[in-house]
Structure 1
Amino acid sequence: MFTLSRKKGACLAGILLLSGAAVAEDTVPVVTPAVTAETSPAVVEKPAPAVVAEPAPAKLEKPESDKAAVPAPAVTETPAPLTTLPTSAATATPAVKEEPKAPVKPEFSLNSEEQKRAYASGVAMARYIEDQIQQQKALHITLDKNIMLAGIADTFNKQVKMSDQDIHATLTAFDEQVKVLTKAEADKKSAADKAFLADFSKQDGVKKSKQGLLYLVKNKGQGEALKDTDTVEVSYQGKLVDGTIVDGPQVDNANQIFRVANMPPVLRDSVKLIRKGGEIQVVIPPSTVENADNKGPNVVVIYTISVVDVNKAR
């Protein structure tokens, strides 16, 4: 009978488990009674007998009394596995990729004159861009503000995405388009101005001043004629034929107090034609009033002026 000691049996069982060896279902296992330290004499290892191909003997079951007498062997000294199998790539935990952090905006202050100049220059540039966008919007030209800002940033970072030749060609063609559209818009406004002047001059009560202004007194008002020394509270507004407001108090629907002598010429000459509570409409034709460049305005401006109150000088 081939017998293994407890330690050798445990080692062999561990090796078989690691190597994946298995016994087929139709193979009858060889039952080797476990030997305990109390019942086994000294163990002498003998060579394994030759295996003869004979029908497998029927498995004999021990009576219940024997099973109870011989407890199942307990493996108390199981050796550590001989090798450690590597973890497969499918089950390995992937490395956590860190999300890129948002760039921190640089902080600045306006404590020095240099910082104030830089900031003021940026504000002036932004306002210029806003004006250009509004002017071109009136010509039905739409410029994307974000792309314009990208062009500025790319220029500062020396990452311009267009060649100088392409930039020059694009801006030249753009300027020509703006000129054509501007002229067409100016001609349209000029025609509208001429039509308005023709209609206004035909209204009853319309007169022409020495300066060439057309005016219509809608309400004469009451009281004495105004003098340069009087202080007046007036409501006024200047607008174009298309309704665009071009002049008036800084606060909407607010009145303004003037000393008559210090009023702008158009307002001064107009209020002297009415009294307290009066209202007058004044139309300024193109080239009637000169500006700083000695050139008259090229559009019609319509003023509506009311004298709300008068404080006579004493």
Structure 2
Amino acid sequence: MFSLTRKKNACLAGLLMLSGAAVAADPAPVVTTEPAVTSASEKPAAVAAAEAAPAAPEKPAPFVATEPAPVASEKPAPVIATEPVPVASEKSAPAVTEIPALLTVLPTSAATVPAAKEEPKAPVKPVFSLDSEEQKRAYASGVAMARYIEEQIEQQKALHITMSKDIMLAGIADTFNNQVKMSDQDIHTTLTAFDEQVKVLTKAEMDKKSAADKAFLADFAKQDGVKKTKQGLLYLVKNKGEGNVLKDTDTVEVGYQGKLVDGTIVDGPQVENANQVFRVANMPPVLRDSVKLIRKGGEIQVVIPPVAVENASDANRPDVVVIYTITVVDVNKAQ
């Protein structure tokens, strides 16, 4: 009888533990150390009540202890919760979305996270001064070279040839640094073809201008009052002016401008619409001979064909028609 009672009590305790009631406020009746009882009348009331409860093991009442009281002789059993309790790992999802923002700073794997690229640093400009003659010579040579290149670029624009300044500067820098990206043969071939192209385009442009010049000369010569000098210049006095004939000893204030048939200005004062003072004897031949044909307040137009300057050197001989407009603003007699 004693052994049966102990088995029932042990079974009841096991079911209570599985249902969450193993940590009840008074767990003493589960495990007892009282001496064996020989008759039902001598059994404790708690034991008799436990034996009298027929369906207690079948429908255990759910019980969740807020603060389980540990048993002195046994380690506290793990609590099996009836409702799932949120685990910390379930809240870790938002943290994953924040990781990519930090990967560029703290990469976790070189295989999955590309290394951050460093921004190219601006080239350091050389620091120099112009305190010595050697430095001045070097700088002046650079300026002269740049101006020559600028002049060539402008001339090529008239032939509809474009040239990149940046690439030209790269070629100069690569040459100085011994990092030329073309072979000598390729450079020679490229420049030879370029020279031929310039020659062809130049000839075509000059032929076009020559035809325009001839047409202008023919039309100008037909105008009333146009005369021709011994040197072959054509001129037209638009306003003779007043006063005496100018002499070499006179000082005159003149306004003048030389341009091509297409309107390109090739000669004149540095300041636009400004006048210039000359001593008649020291004027260029074309201007000197022209002002002597008019007086103070007079205006003359002079057309200079290329054949009219045969005595000029090859470097100074114009190959196009130049049209001068000259005005005598004032005349100061010599004292």
Normalising by structure 1, report the TM-score: 0.72
Alignment match, 1:110: 130
Establish whether residue 197 from structure 1 lines up as the match of residue 189 from structure 2. no
> Is the Cα–Cα contact under 8 Å of residues 301 and 323 in structure 2 kept in the other structure?
yes
Cα distance in 2 between the residues matched to 1:29 and 1:101: 73
More helix as a share of residues: 2
Q: Which of the pair has more CA radius of gyration?
A: 2
Calculate percent identity across the aligned residue pairs: 78
Alignment match, 1:287: 307
Alignment match, 1:181: 201
Unaligned runs of 5+ in 2: 1-17, 27-56, 71-94, 106-115
Cα distance in 2 between the residues matched to 1:61 and 1:220: 127
Establish whether residue 142 from structure 1 lines up as the match of residue 176 from structure 2. no
> Is the Cα–Cα contact under 8 Å of residues 25 and 69 in structure 2 kept in the other structure?
no
Alignment of 1:1-314 (within 5 A): 28=20, 30-31=22-23, 58=61, 91=99, 93-94=102-103, 96=105, 99-289=119-309, 290-293=311-314, 296-314=317-335
- Residue 330 of structure 2 aligns to a residue in which SS? strand
Corresponding pairs, count: 253
- Residue 143 of structure 1 aligns to a residue in which SS? coil
Q: For residues 259-279 of structure 1, give each alpha carbon's deviation from its aligned partner in whole angstroms, at most 9, with x where no partner exists.
A: 111111110010000000000
Unaligned runs of 5+ in 1: 1-25, 35-53, 74-86
Greater shift in the superposed pair: 161-170 or 113-122: 161-170
| Structural RMSD (CA) | 3.1
Cα distance in 1 between the residues matched to 2:304 and 2:237: 15
Alignment match, 2:10: none
Cα distance in 1 between the residues matched to 2:63 and 2:147: 104
> Is the Cα–Cα contact under 8 Å of residues 276 and 308 in structure 1 kept in the other structure?
yes
- 1:167 Cα shift? 1.6
Alignment match, 1:37: none
Greater shift in the superposed pair: 112-121 or 227-236: 112-121
Distance 1:58 1:253, change over 3 A: same
The structure 1 segments of at least 4 consecutive aligned residues displaced by more than 6 Å after TM superposition are: 70-73
Normalising by structure 2, report the TM-score: 0.68
> Is the Cα–Cα contact under 8 Å of residues 239 and 245 in structure 1 kept in the other structure?
yes
